[in-house]
Homo-oligomer: A and B are copies of this chain.
Amino acid sequence: MDSDFGIPRELSPLQQLRSQYHPELPPCLQGTTVRVELGDGTTVAKAGDAHIIARAFPHTLGQPLAHFLRATAKVPDAQIITEHPAKRVGIVFSGRQAPGGHNVVWGLYEALKVHNAKNTLLGFLGGSEGLFAQKTLEITDDVLQTYKNQGGYDMLGRTKDQIRTTEQVNAALKACTDLKLDGLVIIGGVTSNTDAAHLAEFFAEAKCPTKVVGVPVTINGDLKNQFVEANVGFDTTCKVNSQLISNICTDALSAEKYYYFVRLMGRKHSHVALECTLQSHPNMVILGEEVTASKLTIFDIIKQICDAVQARAEQDKNHGVILIPEGLVESIPELYALLKEIHGLLKEGVQADNISTQLSPWSSALFEFLPPFIKKQLLLHPESDDSAQLSQIETEKLLAYLVETEMNKRLKEGTYKGKKFNAICHFFGYQARGSLPSNFDCDYAYVLGHVCYHILAAGLNGYMATVTNLKSPVNKWKCGAAPILVEFCRLIRLKFV
Within 8 Å CB of A282, what residues of B? 1
| Nearest neighbor of A391 in chain B, beta-carbon distance | B424
- A97 part of interface (Cβ distance < 8 Å): yes
Asked if A431 and B426 sit within 8 Å, CB to CB, the answer is: yes
CB distance from A227 to the nearest CB of B (A): 28
A133-141, A252-260, A464-472, A480-488: which one contacts chain B? A252-260
1/0 contact string of A239-259 vs chain B (CB within 8 Å): 010001011111111111100
Asked if A1 and B321 sit within 8 Å, CB to CB, the answer is: yes
| Nearest neighbor of A427 in chain B, beta-carbon distance | B426
- A444 part of interface (Cβ distance < 8 Å): no
CB distance from A99 to the nearest CB of B (A): 9
CB distance from A491 to the nearest CB of B (A): 23
Which one, B256, B281, B372, contacts A157 given CB within 8 A?
A: B256
Which one, B158, B159, B281, contacts A1 given CB within 8 A?
A: B281
Copies of this protein in the assembly total: 2
CB distance from A405 to the nearest CB of B (A): 14
CB distance from A408 to the nearest CB of B (A): 15
Asked if B247 and A159 sit within 8 Å, CB to CB, the answer is: no
Asked if B430 and A426 sit within 8 Å, CB to CB, the answer is: yes
CA distance A424 to B392 in the complex (A): 9
Within 8 Å CB of A433, what residues of B? 247, 251
Given contacts A321-B1, A426-B430, A435 and B257 within 8 Å (CB-CB)? no
Within 8 Å CB of A252, what residues of B? 1, 434
- A416 part of interface (Cβ distance < 8 Å): no
Asked if A424 and B434 sit within 8 Å, CB to CB, the answer is: no
- CB-contacts of A388-434 with B (<8 A): 424, 426-428, 430-434
CA distance A281 to B14 in the complex (A): 14
1/0 contact string of A153-176 vs chain B (CB within 8 Å): 110011100000000000000000
CA distance A191 to B152 in the complex (A): 41
- A21 part of interface (Cβ distance < 8 Å): no
| Nearest neighbor of A150 in chain B, beta-carbon distance | B250
Asked if B251 and A434 sit within 8 Å, CB to CB, the answer is: yes
Asked if B434 and A154 sit within 8 Å, CB to CB, the answer is: no
Asked if A251 and B152 sit within 8 Å, CB to CB, the answer is: yes
- A151 part of interface (Cβ distance < 8 Å): yes
Within 8 Å CB of A250, what residues of B? 97, 150-152, 154, 434-435
- A226 part of interface (Cβ distance < 8 Å): no
Asked if A283 and B426 sit within 8 Å, CB to CB, the answer is: no
Given contacts A1-B249, A247-B151, A159 and B430 within 8 Å (CB-CB)? no
CA distance A247 to B236 in the complex (A): 12
- CB-contacts of A1-27 with B (<8 A): 1-3, 12
> A residues touching B (Cβ–Cβ < 8 Å)?
1-3, 12, 93, 96-97, 126, 150-154, 157-159, 240, 244, 246-257, 260, 280-283, 317, 321, 372-373, 424, 426-428, 430-435
Can you name 6 A-B pairs with beta carbons within 8 Å?
A3-B253, A97-B250, A151-B250, A244-B431, A247-B430, A260-B430
| A-B residue pairs, 9 tightest by C-beta | A251-B434, A247-B434, A152-B250, A250-B434, A154-B253, A1-B249, A153-B254, A152-B254, A97-B254
Other A-B contacts than A152-B251, A424-B430, 11 sampled, CB-CB below 8 A, are A1-B249, A1-B280, A2-B253, A3-B253, A97-B250, A97-B254, A126-B256, A244-B431, A247-B434, A248-B434, A251-B430
